[in-house]
Amino acid sequence: DQQVKQNSPSLSVQEGRISILNCDYTNSMFDYFLWYKKYPAEGPTFLISISSIKDKNEDGRFTVFLNKSAKHLSLHIVPSQPGDSAVYFCAASLTATSGTYKYIFGTGTRLKVLA
Amino acid sequence: NAGVTQTPKFRILKIGQSMTLQCTQDMNHNYMYWYRQDPGMGLKLIYYSVGAGITDKGEVPNGYNVSRSTTEDFPLRLELAAPSQTSVYFCASSYSGLREQYFGPGTRLTVT
């Protein structure tokens, strides 16, 4: 049962245009969502996050939108740059009964920004 | 700050061999995690720890063991390697109360 889905394995975008990466989830108990960026042969690095009480969070060129009714979030990158070419993972988090956080990761979307 | 470091970067094991994947963080984070990533899949949690002396199972703990004797170190032990354990292993850490995790560069393990 895949609770977090990234249905697009790959995406190509021209430099300077907008990149939109999508993520769907099924568990309404998730209360926090994160995006990570991963370059080859490196570990994921945190990019941006959003709490379930918000519908938008912006950090420079990166904006995450959350639609709770649709159980959908998206990451917008504007303008896209060649250095943004990487695999992007969506992660959903909830607070477990133990008080710790549980994370479920999507399968990733490989973004290629064309110069 | 080195962040989260993992050794080795690569390893090939024969079936039935054992090994320990090392993970160290220098950020004084309470929480540490071990994930595995199989091709085309998301990260799956193997074990986690909320502090020295405290560990618990994640989604896929079978075939692995962990210990946490210090805040900095969180080694992952494979006792009897199997081909199904061929994967990339990531160690991560975070501050308690914060959701963002910091990941190491990974260990690519092949079991043949």
How does pLDDT run across B13-65, given as a tens digit for each residue? 999 999 999 999 999 999 999 999 998 888 999 999 999 999 999 989 999 99
Name the residue in chain B with its Cα closest to that of A2. B42
Nearest-CB residue to A4 (from B31, B42, B48):
B42
How far apart CA B57 and CA A102 sit, in angstroms, is 11
Dihedrals phi, psi of B85, to nearest 5 degrees: -90, 5
- Give the pLDDT band (50/70/90) at residue A1: low
Q: Which residues in B lie closer than 8 A to residue A101 (C-beta atoms)?
A: 31, 94, 99
Q: How far is CA B12 from CA A47, A50, A72, B8, B82, in A?
A: 32, 39, 40, 11, 11
Q: Which residues in A lie closer than 8 A to residue B88 (C-beta atoms)?
A: none
In this structure, the strands spanning B87-94 and B102-103 are antiparallel
State whether residue B102 sits within 8 Å of chain A by CB. yes
